[in-house]
A and B are shown apart, each in its own frame.
Chain A
Amino acid sequence: MKSFLGFLFGLFCALMIVFIAGENPLTILSILIKSSFGSKYDFGLTLFYMTSLIFTGLSVSVAFKSGLFNIGAEGQLNFSAIAMVSFAMAYPQLGMPSSLLAILFIGVLAGATWGALPGLLKAYRGSHEVIVTMMLNFISAGISSYLISQYLQNPDSQNPESAVIAESFRTNSFDFLNQFFPESPVNLFFLVSIATAIAIHFFFSRSAVGYEMIAVGENPSAAERANISSKKFVVLSLTLSGILASGAAMNEVIGYSGQYKIGFSPEFGFMGIAVALMSNNSPLGIIANAFIMSVFHKGASDLDIETETITKDFSKVIQALVLFGVGLQYYINKSGFKINFPGRNSKKKPKGNS
C-alpha cells in the first residue's frame, strides 16, 4: 500500500474538521465503523456501493491508461441503466435465459455507445474528451428524465422512477450472495466486479492490446511509429470505459432494484475518478480503494442522522481530503523527498513505506 500514509493523513484531516465542528472525532470514527460493518444489512449496503465504485473506478482508470480523462462514467452508467429498463419494458414477455442475456447485451451496448461517442469525436474531429463526456452526462440525464416522465413512470409511485421490470430480466431469483445479507442490496454483480477488476489487471499486464493501449497513453508519437494507431485506441479505450461504467448500472437495475430511479447513482461516476486516482490506475488497487470509499460513503449517511453538525455532504469532504492526502504522498514518493530524523544527521533514513 504505497498510499496508506496519505490515506491516514487525509482521514486525520477530516477528523480534525469534525473536531473543529464540535464533535468528538472518536465518536465519529466509531459511527463510521458501525455504520459500515455494524450489521449484515449495513455491510451488504457497503459492498453494494463498492460494486458500483469498482466498475466506475475501472472505467475511469482504463481511460487514464491511454491518456484520456473520462469524466463521463456517470453519464455512461446512467444511459446504460435507462436503456436496459426501456428494453425490458418494451419486451416484457422474453423468457429466461435469453431475457437476461439480452438485457446484459443492451446494457453493454448502451455503455459502449456512450463511451465510443467521445472517442470517435476525439479521434476524428479533435474534440476534447473532457468537454464531450461532460456534455454527454447532461444529455443522458436529459434523455432519462424525458423517458421516465413521458413513458416509463411507475403509476404506483410518486417518485420519478420507472416501474419494476419483469423478474426474468433480474438475477434476484438465483442470487446466492444476496442470501447472506438479508434485505440488503448487495448482489451477484459484486463478484462480477471483482472478476472484472482481475480481468482488467491481466488485460493490461499480459495482453498485447493492453500493452498497446498503455503505449498510446504513455507516448502517442512513439506508439504511432510502432504502428499502433492512437486514433483506434482512443476510440477503443473510451468504449471499454463506457462498457465498464455500465457495470454499475447493472448492479442497480439487474442485480438489485429492477427499476430506473432518477438519482439512483449518488455520483458513482465522479467518485470513480477519486477511486482511480487513489489507486494510481492499478486495477487491483481499485478494489481496495473502492472499498475504502464505500465505507466513507455509507458511514457519512449515518453521520447525518446521528450527529447534529455533520451532514451527508461530509462524505465528499472526506473523499476530497483522502484524495488530497494520497496525491500528496504520491508527489512525495515521486520527488524522492526524504525526512531527516533529528540527531541522525550522518545517516539519512527515507520516510515512507514505498
Chain B
Amino acid sequence: MNTNIEIEFSNVGKRFGSLWANRDISFSIQKNTIHAIIGENGAGKSTIMKILFGIYPADAGIVKVGDTEVNFQSPIDAMKYKIGMVHQHFMLSPAHTALENVLLVDPEQKPFEFYFKKEKIEKIKATAQLYKFDIPWDTPVKNLGVGVQQKIEILKLLCLDNQILIFDEPTAVLTPHEIDELLNQLLELKKQGKTVILITHKLKEVKRVADMITIFRKGQLVGSYPSSQLDEKEMAAKMVGKAVSFEKRAFERFPDAQTVITLDHVQFKDETRTFNLHLALQRGEILGIAGIEGHGQEKLIPFLLNPKSFKYSGQVLILGRSADSLGNRGARELSVGVFPEDRLRLGVLPELKAFQNFVLGYQRKSHWFKKGFIDWSKVKTLTQNMFDKFKVEPNNIDLTFQSFSGGNQQKIVVARELFHNPDIIIAAHPTRGVDIGAIELIHEQLIQAQEKGKAVLLISSELDELLKLSDRILVIRNGKITSEHGRADFCEKAIGRSMLGVAP
C-alpha cells in the first residue's frame, strides 16, 4: 500500500500572523487517483495546496513527494517534482494564439533560439491528441471561450510532463456543458496515469469523478474518505459541521399575481451591445436570469435602477410607475433592494466601519435621518440587531467592512438591503464567494421574501442556484432574452445550450 503513495502530508501547519490557516494536517494522496479537496471558503483547502505547490512555505510539519521529504520555496521547486497547478484565473497571454501560449512555457528555451521548433509543435499536438483535447491552434486566446482556455492551461502542464496536476476551483467559470467536458477530461487524465487533485466546493462534481475525498473545516482536517462512502448530504454536513438541507423549496403560485416590473419591448444600448428585453416580474415570484458571464445580464441592474440614464425605447413600468415619471434617483425612490453584482466595487465603502456601511444608499431614511443629521447611535443599535439576526461573524459592528470574510460581507449587504422590506429585490450573484452556511441563510431570506409576496429578480452565474430558487428562468445571450423555462420543465442541459446559443 505504502508504495502507492504519491504525496504525504504529516502535521503540516501554516500560520498567517496569529491565525493558523492550516493546523496539524495529515493525509496522503494515492498515485493515479482523482483526489478531491473540499471545504468552505476559508477552510484552508487552497492553502494546503499552495504549500504543496511552493507558493507558501509550511510553518510546521513535513511534506513528502514519493519517498523524498520536500520543502518547496517557490513553484519552480515544485515543478521540478513534476507538480503543476491550474489556477482559478488563467495565466494566458491573450494576444498570442493557443499554440504560442503552449510553446511559451518551455524552461529550456534559450533567449535567441527560434521559437517554432517542429518537433516541439508535433509533441504538443500529439499530447493534445492523446488526451483528446480539441484546440483551435491558430486562434488568438482572447477569441476563445473559457472552456478552451482552460484546456490550454491543462495542456501547458501536460507538455511539461507533469505527473501531479492540481486544479483550483476549475469549474467556477464554466457552463454546464463545459463542466461536463472537463470532468470527462479529468477521468481521461487518470486513465493516462496522472494524479489529479481537485479543489472545489461543488459536491456534485466531486461525487462524479473523485476516488478519494479530503474534507477541511476551519483550517483543520475533518478526514479523508473514499468517495463511495459519502453522499452529497454527508459531505456538506462534514464541511459545515452540521446537517445542511438540500431540499428544493415548495412552490406555490400567488393567485392574484400583480406585476411589479414590466419591460415592454425595451431596447437600449451600452458601449458593447444592443439590448432587447421583454419581461414581466410578478409578486411572489423568483425570476432567475441565466447567461454566460459577460452577456449583459448584469446591465439589467443599472438599467432597472435608473432607466432614464439610458436612452431606451419601449415601456418600463416599475411598481406601477412609468420610468419616465421617476425623479433623478430613479427606482431607488421606490421600494427596491439590490444585492449588487460586484459587492466591493458597487455596494460598500470597504474602509469604513460596518455600521457606517449599513446606511449607504439609505442615509436619508427617516429611521435615523433627521434635519440633516444621522443619528449614529440609532444606526448602531439597528445594525447590531441585524448582525445578531444574520449571525454575522465576528459580531462587531465597529470593524471595517473589508475585515469581514466574503460570506459575512455579503450578509451585511443582504441585511442592509432587506432591512427596509423592499417590494422588489434585485439579487445579483447573491452567493458569489460566500461559504455554504451563509449561502443557506441568504437563500432562505430570498425564499422568505418570495413567500411574503415580494418579487425577486435573481441574476446568477450558478445554474444550480437558479434551478433551486427560481420559478422561471430567462436566458440572456448577447443582450437578448433567448429562452424562457418554467419550473415544471427545468432542464439543465436545455438551459445550458440556450446559454451557449446552441440550437436545441
Q: Could you list which residues of chain A lie within 8 angstroms of chain B, going by C-beta atoms?
A: 205-209, 211-212, 214-215, 218-219, 221-223, 225-227, 336
- Considering the complex, which residues of chain B in the window 346-361 have a beta carbon less than 8 Å from any beta carbon of chain A? 346-352, 356, 359-361
Q: Mark B322-365, 1 if CB is under 8 A from A, else 0.
A: 00000011101000001010000111111110001001111110
Is B419 an interface position by the 8 A CB rule?
no
CB-CB nearest in chain A for B362: A226
User: Within the assembled complex, what's the spacing in Å between the Cα atoms of A215 and B347?
Assistant: 11
Is B374 an interface position by the 8 A CB rule?
yes
Q: Could you write out 11 A-B pairs with CB less than 8 Å apart?
A: A205-B376, A206-B376, A209-B372, A218-B352, A219-B348, A221-B345, A225-B338, A227-B328, A227-B332, A227-B361, A336-B17
Chain B residues with CB below 8 A from A225, complex form? 305, 338, 340, 346-347, 361
Chain B nearest CB: distance from A202 CB in Å? 9
Is B369 an interface position by the 8 A CB rule?
yes
Contact A206 B350 (CB under 8 A): no
Chain A residues with CB below 8 A from B17, complex form? 336
User: Within the assembled complex, what's the spacing in Å between the Cα atoms of A211 and B328?
Assistant: 20
Chain B nearest CB: distance from A297 CB in Å? 32
Chain A nearest CB: distance from B461 CB in Å? 20
Q: Mark B61-92, 1 if CB is under 8 A from A, else 0.
A: 00000000000000000000000000000000
User: Within the assembled complex, what's the spacing in Å between the Cα atoms of A268 and B360?
Assistant: 36
Is B246 an interface position by the 8 A CB rule?
no
Chain A residues with CB below 8 A from B330, complex form? 227
Q: Could you list which residues of chain B lie within 8 angstroms of chain A, going by C-beta atoms?
A: 17, 305, 328-330, 332, 338, 340, 345-352, 356, 359-364, 369, 372-374, 376
CB-CB nearest in chain A for B301: A225
Chain B residues with CB below 8 A from A211, complex form? 356, 359, 363, 374
Contact B329 A222 (CB under 8 A): no
User: Within the assembled complex, what's the spacing in Å between the Cα atoms of A219 and B376?
Assistant: 21
Chain B nearest CB: distance from A44 CB in Å? 37
Contact B360 A207 (CB under 8 A): no
Chain B nearest CB: distance from A203 CB in Å? 10
A-B contact count (CB 8 A): 58
Contact B348 A222 (CB under 8 A): yes
From known contacts A226-B360, A227-B332, infer whether A215 and B349 are also in contact, taking CB-CB under 8 Å: yes
Contact A215 B360 (CB under 8 A): yes
User: Within the assembled complex, what's the spacing in Å between the Cα atoms of A208 and B356?
Assistant: 11
Contact A206 B346 (CB under 8 A): no
User: Within the assembled complex, what's the spacing in Å between the Cα atoms of A209 and B374?
Assistant: 9
User: Within the assembled complex, what's the spacing in Å between the Cα atoms of A209 and B362?
Assistant: 12
Best-surrounded residue of A208, A215, A226 (most CB of chain B within 10 A): A226
CB-CB nearest in chain B for A336: B17
A209, A222, A336: the one contacting B347 at CB < 8 Å is A222
Best-surrounded residue of B332, B351, B359, B373 (most CB of chain A within 10 A): B373
CB-CB nearest in chain B for A217: B349
Contact A207 B373 (CB under 8 A): yes
Contact B363 A222 (CB under 8 A): no
B328, B348, B373: the one contacting A208 at CB < 8 Å is B373
User: Within the assembled complex, what's the spacing in Å between the Cα atoms of A336 and B19?
Assistant: 13
Q: Closest 5 A-B residue pairs measured CB to CB?
A: A226-B361, A218-B349, A227-B329, A206-B373, A225-B346
CB-CB nearest in chain A for B327: A227
Chain A residues with CB below 8 A from B332, complex form? 226-227
User: Within the assembled complex, what's the spacing in Å between the Cα atoms of A214 and B363?
Assistant: 12
CB-CB nearest in chain B for A348: B18
Chain A residues with CB below 8 A from B340, complex form? 222, 225
A209, A215, A222: the one contacting B345 at CB < 8 Å is A222
User: Within the assembled complex, what's the spacing in Å between the Cα atoms of A53 and B328?
Assistant: 40
CB-CB nearest in chain A for B375: A206
Contact A214 B349 (CB under 8 A): yes
CB-CB nearest in chain A for B364: A208
Given contacts A214-B349, A227-B330, 14 further A-B contacts (CB under 8 A): A205-B376, A206-B376, A207-B372, A207-B373, A208-B374, A211-B359, A214-B352, A218-B352, A219-B349, A219-B350, A222-B346, A223-B360, A225-B361, A226-B362
Contact A219 B374 (CB under 8 A): no
From known contacts A211-B356, A212-B363, A225-B361, infer whether A219 and B373 are also in contact, taking CB-CB under 8 Å: no
User: Within the assembled complex, what's the spacing in Å between the Cα atoms of A215 and B330?
Assistant: 19
Chain B residues with CB below 8 A from A221, complex form? 345-346
CB-CB nearest in chain B for A218: B349
Chain B residues with CB below 8 A from A227, complex form? 328-330, 332, 361
User: Within the assembled complex, what's the spacing in Å between the Cα atoms of A282 and B80?
Assistant: 53
User: Within the assembled complex, what's the spacing in Å between the Cα atoms of A336 and B373?
Assistant: 34
User: Within the assembled complex, what's the spacing in Å between the Cα atoms of A324 and B374?
Assistant: 36
User: Within the assembled complex, what's the spacing in Å between the Cα atoms of A226 and B356?
Assistant: 13
A205, A208, A214, A215: the one contacting B369 at CB < 8 Å is A208
User: Within the assembled complex, what's the spacing in Å between the Cα atoms of A211 and B332?
Assistant: 18
Chain A residues with CB below 8 A from B359, complex form? 211
Chain B nearest CB: distance from A144 CB in Å? 37
Chain B residues with CB below 8 A from A215, complex form? 349, 360
Contact B374 A206 (CB under 8 A): yes
CB-CB nearest in chain B for A219: B349
B351, B352, B363, B373: the one contacting A226 at CB < 8 Å is B363
Contact A207 B345 (CB under 8 A): no
Chain B nearest CB: distance from A219 CB in Å? 5
Chain A residues with CB below 8 A from B347, complex form? 222, 225
Contact B350 A218 (CB under 8 A): yes
Contact B350 A208 (CB under 8 A): no
